[in-house]
Amino acid sequence: MRETLALTRYQLALLVRSQRWLAPLLLYAGLLAVGVRAGDPVLDSLGFAAAALLPTAVWLVRVCVTAEPAAARHCAAAATGPARAHLAGVVAGAAAAAVPGGAAVGLVTAVSSRWSTDGGGAIPVASAVVAGVCGVLTCVAVGTAVGVLCNRPLVGARGYAVAMSLLGTVVALVAGASPARAAVAALSRASAQGSVDVPWVELLCALAVAGLAVCAACAVVGRRP
Amino acid sequence: MSWAVTLDDVGRRYRAGGRWVLRGVDLEVRAGTLLRVEGGNGSGKSTLLRLLAGVEAPSAGRIRGLPGTRGYVPERFPAALPLTAAAYVTHLGRVRGLRGRAAARESTRWLERLGAGPYAGTRMRELSKGSSQKVAVAQALVGRPALLVLDEAWTGLDQSARAVLDEVVRERVAEGGAVVFVEHDPARLAAAPDAVVRIAAGGLAERAERGPRARAGTEPRPRTPRLRIEARGTPGAGAPAGLPRGARCRVTPEGVLSLTVPAAASDAALRTLLAAHPGWHVRSVREEDAAREEDAVQERGGPVGPAREEAGPG
């Protein structure tokens, strides 16, 4: 556990110093600027903020699992094992996505109107924040799963990896079975009905999906270093 | 602490149905031993080292008993990382379980010992090749991993850092760690290895065992590798002066010189020849055994080709 934390810290240091976090973060900021307006219903805006975080998470996970040149990756893998080294990269990417997601929940809650879509029901701030955080974490988890499944070690070539990441992002946002889509839909449904519906089940499903994806990737990473 | 890594019929290929890079390898690396791996280009030396370092999993067979922490110096270390040398080595120290300040202290200590102290604060992508090789070595040593795997780690280091690495390898073995290395210089640690493994065409061909030194009271003296240098000078010239100690020299009246020197002294011998007046034209540098075989073939009237040129050490 300590080794994995140390490796995650190393991966986060690489991410912060490399400035490769900048582009995904700008994407997220741009999407929020387009999609969130002051005075819009809070739960609708939180749903959008969560959905927009999914491609950001996919991108950040890709950045983290491809941050090191092969030689440096081998050195870190030798220290504790390739699976742990890969896990650390994934955790770093997911954490890096959760940070702007948390900030967005705060920002969106602050500028949005605390009413349902039709203006008929007041939305309590605390439950809006809880529902927003759940939605954001669901999208981070699904984005992490997409990022893990569409990059090394499972997809090696850069072109395929990027194409599959894009495709995976779209599928995760529109497919009926996707926990991310379900969580976003739950938020907008709650906004329409004026009653907060925290998407717990979606979050647990998303975490399970992400866990399975990470297990699959870590299981093969030794064979495809 | 006593441990041993065992490779059981281990094979490695990089895609299903592809070519076996390594096959049928049985090997044991015990604590407190030094193992040298030899083999031609593309024979799978580096792959074997990556398997031992735990970086890759075998495609066939099993590897058992890998110690929890390993240090690995890759063949090429293009350190295009956005961290400073000290920060990188410190991170690796933490990964091996050192806490906070101890990791930073040990990283500074290793960088300084290898002579990389002055650029500990330099970003790794700004380092020269030799300097980043020092960082590559330091990251493998920090946290004192039980198993050290060196893939031509000496290449690119300056003389003093090479000597330090020799010293560290001996220390690690004496402390009960194990060191496995590949090195193109046959003179490197020539007297030290407990075993030499030679890989030929994707499998282990032979293993020359010398037994752990702790048990062997008198270590059998290894045959130092020797090189034969052939050169042509002006007819009637005598043997050049100032050849290194241990050199055997023969000059024919036509001015063909045949010089046999210990591999470690070959650079000095070549320098003497090149600097001599009148000059010597070096025609070939070969391992003594290979030279003898070729000469035997020539004497038997076999195919006569141009002298095979091989790079000397260093």
Pairing of strands B248-251, B281-287: unpaired
CA pair distance B91, B64, nearest whole angstrom: 27
- The pair of structure tokens assigned to A46 is 């939180």
The whole-number average pLDDT for the span A145-171 is 95
The residues facing B306 across adjacent strands are none
Give yes or no for a contact between B285 and B312, defined as CB atoms under 8 angstroms apart.
yes
- pLDDT-derived band at B311 (thresholds 50, 70, 90) equals very low
* Strand (E) or helix (H) holding A33: helix A22-35
Q: Tens of pLDDT along A163-194?
A: 999 999 999 999 999 999 999 999 999 999 88
| Burial letters B167-202, b for 16+ CB under 10 A, else e | ebbeebbeeebbbbbbbebbbbbbebbbbbbbbeeb
Nearest of A143, A167, A190 to residue A46 by alpha carbon? A190
Give yes or no for a contact between A196 and A131, defined as CB atoms under 8 angstroms apart.
yes
> Domain residue spans in chain B?
4-209, 226-299
Contacts of A66 in chain B (CB under 8 A): none
Sheet holding B70-73, edge to edge: B70-73, B147-151, B178-182, B34-39, B195-200, B203-209
- C-alpha distances in Å from residue B108, one per residue of A214, B42, B55: 35, 36, 26
- pLDDT-derived band at A108 (thresholds 50, 70, 90) equals very high
CA pair distance B174, A165, nearest whole angstrom: 50
The whole-number average pLDDT for the span B187-202 is 78
CA pair distance A85, A59, nearest whole angstrom: 19
In the predicted structure, residue B110 carries a pLDDT above the cut 90? yes
Q: Tens of pLDDT along A15-28?
A: 999 999 999 999 99
Q: Tens of pLDDT along A35-67?
A: 999 989 999 999 999 999 999 999 999 999 999
CA pair distance B237, B277, nearest whole angstrom: 10
Contacts of A7 in chain B (CB under 8 A): 95
- pLDDT-derived band at B136 (thresholds 50, 70, 90) equals very high
One-letter amino acid of B9: D
| DSSP symbol at A225 | -
Contacts of A225 in chain B (CB under 8 A): 50, 55-56
Nearest of B313, B39, B40, B41 to residue B185 by alpha carbon? B313
Question: Which residues of chain B from 48 to 77 reach within 8 Å of chain A, CB to CB?
Answer: 50, 53-57, 59, 68-77
Q: How many A/B residue pairs have CB atoms within 8 Å?
A: 93
CB contact under 8 A, B70 and A79: yes
CA pair distance B80, B275, nearest whole angstrom: 40
Q: Tens of pLDDT along B12-37?
A: 988 888 888 888 888 899 999 999 99
Give yes or no for a contact between A36 and A108, defined as CB atoms under 8 angstroms apart.
yes
The lowest-confidence range among B130-144, B209-223, B238-252 is B209-223
- Tell me the three state secondary structure of residue B188: coil
- Tell me the three state secondary structure of residue B180: strand
pLDDT of B297 reads 59
- pLDDT-derived band at B103 (thresholds 50, 70, 90) equals very high
Mutate to test the interface with A, among B46, B95, B135 (most CBs of A within 10 A): B95
Instruction: Kindly list the residues of chain A whose beta carbon comes within 8 Å of any beta carbon in chain B.
Output: 2-3, 6-7, 9-10, 13-14, 17-19, 68-69, 71-72, 74-82, 222-223, 225
Q: Could you identify the residue written with the tokens 């592809």?
A: B18
Q: Residue B238 contacts by C-beta under 8 Å, 6 or more apart in sequence?
A: B251
CB contact under 8 A, B74 and A71: yes
Contacts of B96 in chain A (CB under 8 A): 3, 79-80
∠ CA A30-A35-A37, rounded to 5°:
110
CB contact under 8 A, A14 and B68: no
The whole-number average pLDDT for the span A216-220 is 94
Q: Where are the beta strands (DSSP E) in chain B?
A: 4-13, 20-30, 34-39, 60-64, 70-73, 147-151, 178-182, 195-200, 203-209, 226-232, 248-251, 256-262, 281-287
pLDDT of B201 reads 63
In the predicted structure, residue A106 carries a pLDDT above the cut 90? yes
In chain A, the residue whose alpha carbon lies closest to the alpha carbon of B73 is A75
Q: Tens of pLDDT along B45-69?
A: 899 999 999 999 999 999 999 998 8
> Domain residue spans in chain A?
2-220
Contacts of B139 in chain A (CB under 8 A): 75
In the predicted structure, residue B302 carries a pLDDT above the cut 70? no
Pick the CATH number of B4-209 from 3.40.50.300, 3.30.360.10, 3.30.470.10, 3.30.428.10: 3.40.50.300
The whole-number average pLDDT for the span B263-277 is 79
CB contact under 8 A, B69 and A18: no
CB contact under 8 A, B82 and A14: yes
CB contact under 8 A, B79 and A72: yes
Mutate to test the interface with B, among A2, A3, A4, A10 (most CBs of B within 10 A): A10
Give yes or no for a contact between B53 and B149, defined as CB atoms under 8 angstroms apart.
yes
pTM: 0.78
The whole-number average pLDDT for the span A195-218 is 94
